[in-house]
Amino acid sequence: MEAPPQPVYVIRGHASPVHALHFYRSNSRLISADAEGWLVLWNVPIRRPVAVWKAHQGPILAVTTWDDQSIIT
């Protein structure tokens, strides 16, 4: 039996469970949203957060973008 695949890398930036992810069309940026209402905008090539902010008082269940300029939660 084969061992399960291992992640190439892991990004850490949330203290609570992540509920939603969204890649921008270029795949160079990723938005993650968590159970406490925090959003993290990631620079994917360097695997680092470029912005972190509290967007809601409760959990964020979905995240997407509008024209790669606005974030909708």
Residue 8 domain-assigned (yes or no): no
Domain count, the chain: 1
In contact, 9 and 47? CB cutoff 8 Å: yes
Q: What is the DSSP string of 4-56?
A: PP--S------SS-EEEEEE-TTSSEEEEEETTSEEEEEETTTTEEEEEEE--
Residue 71 domain-assigned (yes or no): yes
* Mean model confidence pLDDT for the chain: 95
Average pLDDT over residues 50-56: 97
Range of 56's domain? 48-73
Contacts of 56 (CB under 8 A, 6+ apart): 37, 73
Average pLDDT over residues 28-46: 97
pTM, rounded to two decimals = 0.89
Q: Which helix (H) or strand (E) holds 71?
A: strand 70-72
Residue 42 domain-assigned (yes or no): no
Residue 6 domain-assigned (yes or no): no
Residue 36 domain-assigned (yes or no): no
Residue 29 domain-assigned (yes or no): no
Residue 23 domain-assigned (yes or no): no
Residue 55 domain-assigned (yes or no): yes
